[in-house]
Amino acid sequence: MTEVKIPSKFFQNWKEILQGLYPGKPNFTEDKWPKDLDDKVLIITGGNAGIGFEVVKKLFENTNIKIYIFARNEETTKSKINELIKENKTKSNQLNFIRVDLADLTTIKPAVDEFLKLEKRLDIIIHNAGVMMPRKGEFTKQNFELQLGVNCIAPFLLQHYLNPILISTSNLSKSTSCRIVWVASTAHFWAPEHGLYFPDPNFKTTNEPSNLTIYSQSKAISIIIAKQWSLHHKNSSVISVALCPGYLKTGLSRNLNKIENFFGDLITHDSSLGAYTEIYAALSPDVENGDYIISFGKKGNCRTDLNDVENSEKVWNYLEEQIEPYISK
């Protein structure tokens, strides 16, 4: 097995990494959000906890956009929904739950089918759900390494099924208001060269990589998907972007050890601030195709090798091969 090569970090990379420690205050705040969201529809995965719930909460309280939370746990999600609508019962139809388990690809098409029975348009999707550094050896139901499966392959399949309604909505609106937001991470700087470790993507036989390397691979792939989606849909006005929401205190850190959590608490910010990063990517008129957004609503720069179109196309092709068995003919 070949060595997992991780590119060296240069000044610009470290500048990007350190920015997350002192990101400043969000600029794209509630008073600057678009006012014409009444007929818009948004899907967010993992909107029942962490940053995702903060996004849902802020949009629910400050806009009339219709929100669908795609999540695994029905009880938890409906409890969160009830928590929000208790304060504003007139907006109860603004929040909806659809069950999907990103660790099981067979649940994705039924979730989309349910959504399509309820809606004729889709303006924004935020691929927010994810896992971070679980115990080594955890896999999805389809036997993908858990982070690769949940953070990359499942969102890729979900987007495949949502492309038609999203593109048709963008054609009707004739604007760049339709968005796909892929939540990545500054951790992508520790990913294998070109993002995906092709000799062993699931790290089943490679003993060397740390949990950080495996997690970082999934986040580098998210950046590549964001850029490649635009190249594969050149005739669409949909904007596809990736982001690092920020260094945040969220439930994702539950798999870290005590020492990692101790130091993590010193450098992380309140999870509600990360919501501004995701909402900036989803709503700001300044966002352009292929952008990489950093905390808390600024344009940043990803690692340069992830901009290599030829290698990124190979990553895209790999993902298409993985979802092929789960696409209805």
Tokens of 327: 């696409």
Average pLDDT over every residue of 41-60: 96
pLDDT on residue 262? 44
C-alpha distances (whole Å) from 307 to each of 127, 219, 302 are: 20, 14, 8
H/E element, 243: strand 239-243
List strand residue ranges (DSSP E) for 122-231, in order: 124-127, 179-183
User: Pick the residue with more confidence: 100 or 268?
Assistant: 100
User: Pick the residue with more confidence: 210 or 97?
Assistant: 97
Residue-wise pLDDT tens digits, 73-117: 999 999 999 999 998 877 888 999 999 999 999 999 999 999 999
Would the pLDDT of 14 be above 70? yes
Residue-wise pLDDT tens digits, 132-165: 988 878 999 999 999 999 999 999 999 999 999 9
Q: What sign for the dihedral angle of Cα 278, 323, 313, 238?
A: negative
Could you give the CA distance from residue 314 to residue 198 in angstroms, rounded to a whole number?
Answer: 9
Q: Which residues, 6+ apart, have CB-to-CB distance to 282 below 8 Å?
A: 42, 124, 126, 179, 181
Average pLDDT over every residue of 275-296: 97
Would the pLDDT of 1 be above 70? no
pLDDT on residue 320? 98
Tokens of 275: 């919501």
SS3 2: coil
Side-by-side strand order, sheet with 239-243: 95-99, 66-71, 41-45, 124-127, 179-183, 239-243, 292-294, 298-299
Q: Which residues pair with 126 in a beta bridge?
A: 44, 181
User: Pick the residue with more confidence: 320 or 88?
Assistant: 320
Would the pLDDT of 209 be above 80? no
Residues 101 and 107 sit within 8 Å (Cβ to Cβ): yes
User: Pick the residue with more confidence: 152 or 262?
Assistant: 152
Rounded to the nearest integer, the mean pLDDT of the chain is: 92
C-alpha distances (whole Å) from 260 to each of 96, 218, 252, 255, 264 are: 36, 20, 12, 10, 6
Domains of the chain are 31-323 (3.40.50.720)
pLDDT on residue 250? 62
